Chain A
Amino acid sequence: MAELVAVIASTHHPFYYRASTATGEDRPPFADEWVRKVEAFRETLTRARPDVLVMVGSDHFHQLWLDNMPQFLVGKAPFYDANWYNEEREFGLPRMVMRGEEELSSYILRNGLDAGFDLAFSNELRIDHSITCPIITLRPQNDLPIVPIYTNIFAPPLPQPKRFVQLGQTIRELVESWPSDQRVAVIGTGHLSLELGGPRQFGPHGPDPEFDRKAVEWISSGDIEGCCADVTLDSLHLPGNATHGFMDFMLMMGVAGEGRKADYVDTYDLFHTMEAYFTWYPGGGQEVR
């Protein structure tokens, strides 16, 4: 069977690419420390020596639209083009192409359906910065095939938070039962507190540092029970109007497992929203200091 060699949860900050590649007067004062943190985080994936990446993210009204909106969607294609005109325009993100691991996509679709998740699928999916940001930060050589999985954290009505946790648990079971000798890492990105297009946007910190503190504690300690007791679709409006992206972190807690402490935790307090990076090694044996 395939081996789950790393579980990684991260924020996806679209400004990282521009900040990290800027030089001279254009380079923001926080860039050097940000690059240092991202490179240390990258090492936690590299040392797991993955062959395949399952990438969990959320389309930001690029290909998925309100006339036909899936809640959970799995890409199944040999290639995925990536990044969109308006992401080039606003964030300076480059156009990219990724290879797909169709066999694992098929396995997740068939067995996910049979496990009670009515997953949508796409055979021609252009992915966006929710998946390309972690490629840029964690695997910039972009040399591994992927299975993209999109969740709806964006266009209500949304699935309940516990459903994200359950999907994460199911993804883990499916990866670990995939008849293959491949080494698989599951990487998912979301947000801590975040406000977009509202009065609390672009402040000196994230809109709700207290929520961020609690969220980092839930994730790093694997406290799914405590998190689910505190987080509802309604409560996620309070820390910031785009905070429902936190449910992708809850999904990744489901992949990592109840009570499973993260092996690597780092954060970086930036303007607008806090960065947060977590890695678990399900098989152990990957001491991280």
Chain B
Amino acid sequence: MSKYLLNKFLFTVDRDPELVERYREDPRGTVEWWEADMANRILNCHSGEASTWLRFEEVERTALSTHDYPKLFELGAHPFLTLTLFIAMFERDHDGLGFQLEYARRLSHLTLPYPDIAT
């Protein structure tokens, strides 16, 4: 499990307006590019330093590549990061709180305790 890396993807895409659009339009290509070029960047280093060991598991890669936010919840991705990014991508396709309510409905099969989000 690489919950940290799932969160890192959601975090870095959410804060970049161009990446938000790119991930909306081409999720599979964005995830492939990000895992190859961005996953190992150490965000708090000023330049050039990288880790060597971070990669997604197949189930995580697939969930991100298919915009499968219920699956991301089940995998323990941080719900705030997932919600914020998916609102940025898809709220525009619905009226009012339509997307937020659909989001809740698609998670309605889940009961407490929810998956652990500790990283």
Contact = CB atoms under 8 A, between A and B. Distances in A.
Contacts of A72: none
Given A197-B73, A198-B110, A154 B80 contact: yes
A201 interface: yes
Contact of A237 (B82, B103, B114): B114
A67 B44 contact: yes
B1 to A, nearest CB: 14
Contacts of B43: 65, 67
A155 B78 contact: yes
B118 A156 contact: yes
B77 to A, nearest CB: 9
Interface stretch (B6-14, B24-32, B58-66): B6-14
Given A66-B119, A156-B118, A200-B104, A85 B15 contact: yes
Contact of B80 (A68, A85, A157, A242): A242
Interface in A205-261: 237-238, 241-242
Contacts of B118: 156-157
A73 B42 CA distance: 21
A60 interface: yes
Interface residues on A, range: 20 to 34
Contacts of A107: none
Nearest to A203: B104
Interface of A: 60-61, 65-68, 84-86, 89-90, 154-157, 196-203, 237-238, 241-242, 271
23 contacts: A61-B11, A66-B8, A84-B15, A85-B15, A86-B14, A86-B84, A155-B119, A156-B119, A196-B80, A196-B83, A197-B83, A197-B103, A198-B73, A198-B79, A198-B107, A198-B114, A199-B105, A199-B107, A202-B104, A203-B104, A237-B113, A238-B112, A242-B80
